[in-house]
Amino acid sequence: MSSNAPLPPGSTLGVLGGGQLGRMFALAARRMGYRVVSWVGGPDNGPAGVADFVIEDSFDSPAGLAAFLDRAQAATVEFENIPRSLLETVAAKIPLMPGANAVAICQHREREKRFLEENGIPCARFAVVESAAQLRSALAGLPEKGGILKTAEFGYDGKGQLPVTRESDPEAVWSAFATPRAVLEERIDLAAELSVFVVRDMAGHALAYDPAENFHRDHILDVSIVPARLDPALLDEARSIALGVAEALDYRGLLAVEFFLSSDGRLLVNEMAPRPHNSGHHTIDACETSQFEQQLRVLCGLDPGGTRLHSPAVMLNLLGDVWEDAKGKPDWRAVLAIPGAHLHLYGKHEARRGRKMGHATFTAATLEEALANQTKARKILNIPPLP
């Protein structure tokens, strides 16, 4: 269901999901005078608490659906693993952005890879696997560096992935992986990782942000550096590809496109996220319009805001390790004494190793200064140095 009339401040916007991305969307909405109902799909662990209304019923609950539709005048998602049937039901009643089809493609690796392949968008070579026999054949076709076996759905931050080689035992691997369907991708010898954010409105007008250069630690994003320290021609190519992805998806809303740059110079789309993304958090403090405000603007039928980067920035992820290492009392005073430091904590009830608890963004007049300041924060918080 769609409407051409913009939703005015005072309207209630629905969010499917209750994590930190929904929290930051709700904060942007509150600043602009909108109300938010967050359907968490289970017990709220803290982040959804800034919403005006919280629904904890499971996503298959008729009562939860009724309560959500009774409040929300339009809806969006804060993570992609929402049942497609629920997305379609919501979209039949109120505007939903992005649409159910775009989310369904992004939430499933096989559909995502086939979408990229069918639209001529560069991605890693892959094969779909349904049995040990098919895995044996796919392993034989791997390059010398081997590959990564991934679950077809429900995987993020390195979960649902297993490195394999041509010599791997297909029967043992398939038995241990315990999934009915998987995607085997070639292993990429990485030169860099980057992401590009695209905002696209109902009329199909699209804008791209400056690409972010990303570094991961233990498969979880560690830092994002903007502007990326890569060849300007390559960054222009990444923007162009990301805009093409959004157009091919007929996308509405805020889309994150993650890239691998291989050591042999290939720029490959790794994944797409139909929502704001961890590597775009710098936009809150360093850009004309944050990724969360863009998500809200398109949902409400408003014109997208500018994407200009007004300050070089480095975004540092804060995992539960920081709390454990500091015995629950990180030295935020010392961090905030660093020039250009912006602290964002997600209000989660419990800190655990590897759990995203917040982030700090460091803005400065130069990228070198921002990098130096995040290095100071790493030392204060006992976060290992960048490689």
Domain boundary among 75, 96, 117: 96
Same domain, 196 and 165: no
Are 182 and 198 in the same domain?
A: no
pTM assigned to the model: 0.94
On whether both 37 and 176 belong to a single domain, the answer is no
CA distances (Å), origin 284, targets 24, 250, 288, 294, 342: 9, 26, 8, 11, 10
In a domain, 196, yes or no: yes
Q: What is the pLDDT of residue 2?
A: 46
Judgement on whether residues 202 and 345 belong to the same structural domain of the protein: yes
Task: Say if residue 285 is in the same domain as residue 356.
Answer: yes
Residue 110 lies in a domain: no
Is 4 contained in some domain? no
Give the span between the Cα atoms of 187 and 356, in whole angstroms: 26
| Pair (160, 210) in one structural domain | no
**HSE on the CB side for 387, CA within 13 Å?**
7
d(CA 341, CA 335): 7
Q: What is the CATH number of the domain that holds 267?
A: 3.30.470.20
**Residue 2 in domain:** no
- pLDDT (tens, 9 = 90+) of the chain, 387 residues, equals 445 689 999 999 999 999 999 999 999 999 999 999 999 999 988 888 999 999 999 999 999 999 999 999 999 999 999 999 999 999 999 999 999 999 999 999 999 999 999 999 999 999 999 999 999 999 999 988 899 999 887 655 556 889 999 999 999 999 988 888 999 999 999 999 999 999 999 999 999 999 999 999 998 999 999 999 999 999 999 999 999 999 999 999 999 999 999 999 999 999 999 999 999 999 999 999 999 999 999 999 999 999 999 999 999 999 999 999 999 999 999 999 999 999 999 999 999 999 999 999 999 999 999 999 999 999 999 999 987
pLDDT at 45: 85
Query: Residue 189: its pLDDT value, please?
Result: 94
Are 246 and 159 in the same domain? no
Amino acid 367: pLDDT: 98
* 34 and 90 part of one domain: yes
- What range does the domain containing 73 cover? 12-96
Q: Is residue 342 part of a domain?
A: yes
Residue 106: name the closest of 257, 227, 230 by CA.
257
Find the DSSP H helices in the chain.
20-31, 62-71, 84-91, 100-106, 109-118, 132-140, 170-177, 232-248, 283-286, 291-299, 320-325, 332-336, 367-381
Q: Give the pair of three-digit tokens for residue 300.
A: 């409400």
> Last residue of a domain, which of 145, 169, 186?
186
The tokens for 366 are 């130069």
Q: How far apart are CA 16 and CA 40, in angstroms?
A: 7
Tokens encoding 369: 């200064």
Q: Are residues 316 and 330 in the same domain?
A: yes
The token duo for 364 is 């400065």
| Structural domain includes residue 112 | no
Which tokens sit at 368? 């070198």
Same domain, 61 and 195: no
Residue 88's domain is classified under what CATH number?
Answer: 3.40.50.20
In a domain, 22, yes or no: yes
Residues 195 and 312 grouped into a single domain = yes
Q: Which of 186, 219, 234 is the last residue of a domain?
A: 186
Q: Give the CATH number, domain containing residue 174.
A: 3.30.1490.20
Q: What is the pLDDT, as a whole number, of residue 1? A: 46
**Residue 149, domain member (yes or no):** yes
Query: Domain check: are 228 and 338 in the same one?
Result: yes
Q: Please tell me the total count of domains within the chain.
A: 3
